[in-house]
């Protein structure tokens, strides 16, 4: 009975959080204010009637759908004792949100074209060369917590390794609840999660280093103040990403400890994974509420007269309702997102295509080797 209640709570929590995120998706908290539903508009049209109407329609439909799917999937999951209902419900909500978003994107783009919103504007672009000559420094001190967790994991693993049993158990969610699969004890199985910590830390550090040199999203109306604000945004994002890395490493350390001690408690496993993930969610919420997309919620520290310019209308380079950037003439690899907070890759850049192909080739080769073995 406790397992059924736990599965029901997990289904409900997962769908409730997802529904809340999808409901809030069109909010300026999660997207650049002048890019409603992925459509670039002049700042004075960010709250035009057509935009507000589509926001209201999207939110109304998502509110009803999220409530219905959450209740039905939670009840079904409780009756069957499985998280499959929650997973299916999540897919349905995401599919509906994508359809509603695409419809709103098309309606706003049509209103923008029919109304000539860019007809009487002065479009422009701005860059800050000091971001290259004097870039925001990598937050080395913020990597210390992640490295300390890795060091503790390695030391603990070395100490307990000689006394480990012949087989190690790892928890895994299945249709029937939490199950434990056993693997022959070896250096790779015992230290597999520690290796994941190392790879995660190196990957996140590389990503942060790349983001610090990514193309900046500056305010063309107030370029000096915008550049200062963007620097603070980069600093906050870099520190947060390394902090999130430390939290995920801590979760992996907890899972390693459970594996090494052969503890197969579902509630304890849930606590070990859930507490760090809640902390990660808290960091993300703080970024959304206090920083915003490209630092839009950060307070300007200097007064500056407006140039009267608006960002260039570059809708032609954005596909899939403003979620994918494809521009072969743009040398940038990373560009600020239109939908959500952060950056996305330029799929028209040859280096991105080569890198993606290389990763896929390595993944396929590894799968073939594993299958042959």
Q: Is the pLDDT of residue 83 over 80?
A: no
Tokens of 352: 């991105």
List pLDDT tens digits, range 259-293: 898 887 777 888 898 899 999 999 999 998 899 88
pLDDT of residue 296: 86
Band (pLDDT 50/70/90 cuts) for residue 115 is very high
Q: Is the pLDDT of residue 129 over 60?
A: yes
- % of the chain residues with pLDDT over 70: 91
- The band of 1, judged by pLDDT with boundaries at 50, 70 and 90, is very low
Whole-prediction pTM: 0.84
304, pLDDT greater than 50: yes
Q: What is the mean pLDDT of residues 301-318?
A: 88
Q: 184-218 pLDDT, tens per residue?
A: 888 888 899 999 999 999 999 999 999 998 888 88
Buried b (16+ CB within 10 A) or exposed e, 48-57: bebbeebbee
Give 175-185 pLDDT, tens digit per residue: 455 566 777 88
pLDDT at 174: 52
**Spatial contact of 324 and 347, defined as CB atoms under 8 Å apart:** yes
CA distance 202 to 194: 13
What count of Cα atoms within 13 Å lies in the side-chain half-sphere of residue 206?
Answer: 6
pLDDT of residue 171: 67
User: For the residues 314-336, what does the mean pLDDT come to?
Assistant: 91
What does the angle CA 212 – CA 213 – CA 218 come to, to the nearest 5 degrees?
85
pLDDT of residue 270: 81
pLDDT at 86 over 80: no
pLDDT above 90 for 154: yes
pLDDT of residue 299: 86
Is the pLDDT at 170 greater than 80? The verdict is no
Dist. CA 51–CA 114, nearest whole Å: 14
Which one is predicted more confidently, 351 or 123? 123
Residue 350 clears pLDDT 50, i.e. is over it: yes
CB neighbours of residue 155 within 10 Å: 10
- The answer to whether the CB of 86 falls within 8 A of the CB of 73 is yes
pLDDT tens for residues 216-270?
888 888 888 888 999 999 999 999 999 999 999 999 999 999 889 888 777 788 8
Higher pLDDT: 341 or 282? It is: 282
């Amino acid at each position: 009975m406790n397992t059924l209640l736990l599965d029901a709570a997990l289904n409900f929590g997962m769908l409730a959080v997802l529904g809340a995120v999808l409901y809030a998706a069109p909010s300026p908290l999660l997207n650049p204010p002048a890019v409603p539903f992925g459509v670039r508009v002049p700042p004075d049209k960010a709250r035009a009637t057509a935009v507000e109407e589509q926001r209201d329609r999207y939110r109304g439909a998502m509110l009803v759908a999220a409530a219905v799917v959450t209740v039905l999937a939670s009840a079904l999951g409780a009756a069957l004792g499985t998280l499959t209902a929650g997973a299916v419900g999540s897919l349905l909500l995401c599919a509906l949100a994508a359809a509603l978003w695409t419809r709103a994107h098309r309606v706003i783009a049509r209103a923008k074209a029919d109304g000539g919103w860019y007809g009487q504007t002065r479009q422009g672009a701005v860059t800050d060369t000091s971001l290259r000559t004097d870039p925001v420094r990598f937050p080395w001190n913020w990597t210390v917590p992640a490295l300390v967790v890795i060091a503790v994991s390695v030391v603990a693993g070395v100490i307990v390794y000689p006394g480990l049993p012949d087989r190690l158990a790892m928890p895994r969610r299945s249709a029937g609840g939490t199950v434990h699969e056993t693997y022959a004890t070896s250096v790779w199985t015992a230290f597999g999660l520690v290796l994941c910590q190392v790879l995660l830390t190196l990957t996140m550090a590389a990503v942060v280093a790349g983001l610090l040199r990514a193309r900046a999203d500056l305010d063309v109306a107030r370029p000096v103040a915008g550049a200062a604000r963007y620097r603070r945004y980069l600093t906050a994002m870099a520190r947060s990403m390394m902090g999130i890395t430390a939290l995920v490493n801590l979760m992996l350390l907890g899972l390693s400890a459970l594996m090494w001690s052969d503890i197969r408690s579902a509630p304890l496993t849930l606590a070990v994974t859930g507490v760090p993930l809640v902390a990660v969610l808290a960091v993300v919420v703080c970024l959304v509420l206090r920083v915003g997309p490209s630092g839009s919620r950060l307070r300007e520290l200097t007064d500056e007269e407006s140039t009267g310019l608006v960002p260039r209308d570059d809708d032609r380079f954005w596909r899939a309702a403003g979620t994918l950037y494809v521009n072969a003439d743009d040398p940038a690899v990373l560009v600020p997102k239109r939908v959500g907070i952060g950056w996305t890759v330029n799929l028209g850049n040859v280096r991105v295509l080569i890198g993606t192909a290389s990763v896929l080739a390595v993944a396929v080769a590894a799968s073939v080797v594993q299958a042959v073995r």
